[in-house]
Amino acid sequence: MISIRQVHPVFVGEVSGADLRQPLSKADVAAIEAGMDRYAVLIFRDQNITDDQQMAFTQNFGEIENAKGGNITKDNEYRLKKGMVDVSNLDKDGKPLPRDDRRRMFNLGNRLWHSDSSFRAKPAKYSILSARTVASQGGNTEFADMRAAYDTLDDATRASIEDLVCEHSLIYSRGSMGFSDLTEDEKAMMKPVRQRLVRTHPVTGRKSLYLSSHAGTILGWPDPEAKAFLMDLTEAATQREFVHSHKWRVGDLVMWDNRQTMHRARPFPHDEPRDVRRTTLMGDAPTVAQQAA
């Protein structure tokens, strides 16, 4: 029987009683979904699963998102099967990418606070990350609870942001790090999409900030003012009281709700292999109507 204990004062649960190598019962799926609604981040220890088992577990909760458009890796450079997102630092031969490799530099954007696939018109629901090989030091993943962050805002701020709409794109997040080496095809693939700044959870009704490094401007605002405002809001939303840092062990699987949290990767020795593999659940609908093409 699945049980969940809270491991952070405001969110994050650790699950026991689950073997994700095996098919889940309807009761187990319901318990995990209820845990996600409550905690927003769930940790499963000692889950030494295969890619097929990870995808089968993911599909209990919806449809796996197509990863196309979320990176600059070429088709002949992929090392994992369709349905798996490679967030490791490894090339097709399993060796760490050189420090100046274009793919590695692009992926350094994962060290910024973000919500997975907020750059898609229909943003992601859950992300599920499995640790196959971990670095000797560093490499933690930090999570921030955007519900708790919203709750601490004063009434005037809540009222002022309620109807704001931002534009999200990988161009914004990577550009903020100095990575602008994109081809015209890549720029077209990363065309900005619109997202609400405040989201309401469809089950619990709780409101949360929908922030991400992918957010580059606010509709109707001058760009410098919008960027400064989003930076201030992100700083307030990622104070230590709202953040949990997960130290990875081989066999860990962590599941989080992108609608209610942000996360970021932390540095680790670049020449050490770190093999972590993600499956991402497609969201239900856009947060706001998209601009006509």
The model's pLDDT over 234-254, given as tens digits with 9 standing for 90+, comes to: 999 999 999 999 999 999 999
Residue carrying structure tokens 């699950």: 15
Q: Residue type at 3?
A: S
In contact, 58 and 127? CB cutoff 8 Å: no
> Hunting for tokens 């187990």 — which residue is that?
28
Burial class (CB in 10 A: 0-12, 13-18, 19+), 227: middle
Element (H, E) at 186: helix 184-189
pLDDT band at 75 (very low <50, low <70, confident <90, very high): confident
Token pair, residue 39, equals 């905690």
The residue behind tokens 């209820």 is 34
Q: Tell me which residue has tokens 């089950």.
A: 203
pTM: 0.97
Report the range of poorest mean pLDDT among 68-82, 157-171, 184-198.
Answer: 68-82
Q: In the chain, count of helices (H) and strands (E)?
A: 8, 15
- At residue 293, the pLDDT reads 41
Instruction: Answer whether residue 292 shows pLDDT above 90.
Output: no
CA distance 239 to 236: 6
When the pLDDT of each residue in the chain is averaged and rounded to a whole number, the result is: 96
Whether residue 126 is predicted with pLDDT greater than 90 in this model: the reply is: yes
Which secondary structure element, helix H or strand E, spans residue 227, and what is its range?
A: helix 223-237
Identify which of 229, 221, 236, 199 has the alpha carbon closest to the alpha carbon of residue 115.
199
